[in-house]
Amino acid sequence: MCYWRQWRKPRTKVRSLMKLGVSERLAIACGITSKGLCRSSKIKGINIALGNDYLASQGLVSLRDIWINIHYGR
């Protein structure tokens, strides 16, 4: 949730979610939430915008994939 933490203000959160393809209504609901980082990571709008595909396109690696490669040797 590094991106969510970078977008400190609700207005920035809403604007950034809308740029990533979330509908306006859902972006507003996600952006003004008072939940913490761990609880808000389960919200649908945030998962749409900051999904695994988006994070992989940003150059981040999946810890799950690394663990599978190490554990199973593939």
Measured CA to CA, the distance from residue 66 to residue 74 in angstroms comes to 10
Total residue count of the chain as it appears in this document: 74
3-state secondary structure of 25: helix
> pTM of the predicted model, to two decimals?
0.77
Where does the pLDDT of residue 12 fall: very low under 50, low under 70, confident under 90, or very high at 90 and above?
A: very high
Contact 16, 45 (CB under 8 A): no
pLDDT digits (tens, 9 = 90+) for 21-71: 999 999 999 999 888 888 888 889 898 998 888 888 988 888 988 999 999
